[in-house]
Structure 1
Amino acid sequence: MGEFELIRHYFAAAPCAQGGEGVALGIGDDCALLDLAAGEQLAISTDTLVAGVHFPAVCDPLLLGQRSLAVAASDLAAMGASAIGFTLALTLPEVGPHWLAAFADGLGRMAHRCRMTLIGGDTTRGPLSITVTVFGRVPVGQALRRSGAQPGELLCVGGCLGNAAGALPLVLGERAAPEPVAGPLLAHYWSPLPQLNLGQSLRGRASAALDISDGLLADCGHIAKASGVALEVNLEQVPVSSELQAFLGLEGARQAALSGGDDYVLAFTIAADTLAAIPDLVRSAMTVHVIGRVLEGQGVTLRDSQGQDITPRQRGYQHFRETP
């Protein structure tokens, strides 16, 4: 099967490639064309996943398809953007019809959940890697950024942390666990749900935001640096799931939540009175947890229940980390 036949058969004909709101022209020409209403800006982000680095070289292609789009779409959520579409650049060591069919199925399922349209891309031969570029829209001046946090505000997250990091031994086959424990952890790793609704709800409310991909403490450091403030995280308030605690114990669960990464949950800063003014129904749907506060200063500090500084040296994952 040649490149163009592959694209037509597995992707151009897929339900997720059949157009959608904001897509004037999708797959089939040299470029896609997107429509934006007056007063809107285009939000764009790219993520690359490499076999053996971001996912096991041997894994379920359906799950991989879901994960590939989800981790990219999470960046739109972090900016408060509404999703429009995405492109896919797929590098394959070989053309396997069953693998491609399952991958395209998983990609389409996540596209449906995120209400996104596949609008183009590329395929080539080489070591397995997947690059997804996502496109969204956001009203001018309302995009959530990392640089607006102010002293006196609260630091919040949009859900439990650490599940994906806790799932890694299960993904790699290093450990096993009963289905009631393993199921939710694996689901979070393979099918994280981009918090698009939460991001849009925070427009005009949150002062700064990002999605947690490299670990809570490491990613909060980006908000602190961009905003010129200090963030204080209270260990006791960091939410972890019962399944993660059952699998790793409380201490292990907290470690995964603080520095494990791959959560794709939003972290944001917001004034206390603004958070209190959000209707209970909306706040409940947002699953907001207050985990700390914004202070004058710089950096990120972790404190225990006694107020002691227990900030670890290892705060999260980094590519190309320099060795001492």
Structure 2
Amino acid sequence: MLAEFDLIRRYFTPGDTARAESRGMTLGIGDDATLLAPRAGLELAVSVDTSVVDVHFPGDAPARAVGHRALAVAVSDLAAMGARGRFCWMALTLDAPRLADERAADAWLGGYARGFLDGCARWETALAGGDVTSGRLAVSVTVMGEVPTGQALRRSGAQLGDIVAVTGALGGGAGGLALWQRGERDLDHPLLRRYLLPEPALDAGVALRGLASSAMDISDGLLADLGHIRCASGVDAVLDIDALPLADGLSAALGADEARRAALSGGDDYELLVTLAPTNVARARAALEAAGVALTAIGRCVAPGEGQDAAEILETATGGRRGWQHFAPPAPASAEPRR
């Protein structure tokens, strides 16, 4: 089996140093640290995300999908801030069974590296360094992006009367996981792709700069993530259950009630959840349409304390009662939202 630094050189060291330097990486992979050149007029957006086998992805998932997904879910945090990707760092922990046979290890690492590095190229996020070690399979990815100074989207800007909206469609991630657990292995299946090969909404985040009052990506589920915006902004929200945009094929795969449950609490959608002043909705839709992304209004922001909790919303959504449903009152100020 390759030693650590040989493994890094073979699978994760890009050969195009000129391109790396043109992106502002004055010293890249191979030293104790990376040297970067910041650019004027831009703020840095930095986030870290860890994916653990059998927690965030199945142990028998294709290696290419593991690499793609690990980077995509981290880059999604940049999309939520309206940032463009620039650099990433990847810490890969490899489990012993995956390394026991040299041929199998080469096949897995080759597939993983293709998935990860193809994502780097696609989302213009250059691999700037990282670490490789042994242990339970896990990937920790730190991403660094850039956004014009003062234009970053945040969770804390929602105002009373704002419209609550989402990009794309919901529930696909949870639907894909359910299909995987049933034995579906065709990565061309749209729901399976939504789960294993998610696409961060970078263009949508950029398009919403100056239009959305708050934003975040939907990773933990719509209700949980709306709770983060509600807590940060000091507002409540009401939802129109009938307006939820469901992923194609979701109702057929799960049934109507479970499809709504997946859209509300399934997570792993990596769409953007935003609030907007009513006067900005038409402009936001036009900007997103140019990026090939749909925007669906699903609710509105109201004063704190006017509503039901998330469990009641789920019961309403899956129990036959329809119409506008109140979201939970704000959590105590001490509550710490999960990234």
TM-score by length of 2: 0.85
Partner letter of residue 210 of structure 1? M
Secondary structure (helix, strand or coil) at the match of 2:267 reads: coil
Distance 1:145 1:310 in 2: 20
Distance 1:64 1:18, change over 3 A: farther
In structure 1, the gaps of 5 or more residues are 312-324
Distance 1:17 1:91, change over 3 A: farther
> Which residue number in structure 2 is paired with residue 8 of structure 1?
9
Is 1:156 equivalent to 2:157 in the alignment?
no
> Which residue number in structure 1 is paired with residue 34 of structure 2?
32
> What is the CA distance between 1:190 and its match in structure 2?
1.1
CA deviation vs aligned residue, 1:136-169 (integer Å, no higher than 9, x gap): 0111211111000000110010110011101112
Pick from 271, 276, 280: which aligns with 2:277? Answer: 271
Is 1:245 equivalent to 2:233 in the alignment?
no
Distance 1:201 1:252 in 2: 32
Is 1:124 equivalent to 2:133 in the alignment?
yes
Partner letter of residue 254 of structure 2? L
Distance 1:40 1:135 in 2: 12
**Which has the higher mean CA deviation after the structures are superposed, 241-250 or 296-305?**
296-305
CA deviation vs aligned residue, 1:7-47 (integer Å, no higher than 9, x gap): 00000136799626243332122221223222211111001
CA deviation vs aligned residue, 1:60-109 (integer Å, no higher than 9, x gap): 10111110100000000001111001011011123311110110011112
Secondary structure (helix, strand or coil) at the match of 2:46 reads: strand
Is 1:165 equivalent to 2:167 in the alignment?
no
Distance 2:169 2:214 in 1: 19
> Which residue number in structure 2 is paired with residue 214 of structure 1?
220
Superposed CA RMSD: 2.4
After TM superposition, the structure 1 = structure 2 runs for residues 179-218 of structure 1, keeping only pairs within 5 Å, are: 183-218=189-224
Distance 1:16 1:241, change over 3 A: farther
Pick from 59, 62, 71: which aligns with 2:64? Answer: 62
Distance 1:87 1:205, change over 3 A: same
Pick from 295, 312, 329: which aligns with 1:288? Answer: 295
For the 8 Å contact 1:14–1:108, the answer to whether it is kept is no
Distance 1:176 1:49, change over 3 A: closer
For the 8 Å contact 2:214–2:274, the answer to whether it is kept is yes
For the 8 Å contact 2:156–2:232, the answer to whether it is kept is yes
For the 8 Å contact 2:120–2:126, the answer to whether it is kept is yes
In structure 2, the gaps of 5 or more residues are 100-104, 329-339
TM-score by length of 1: 0.88
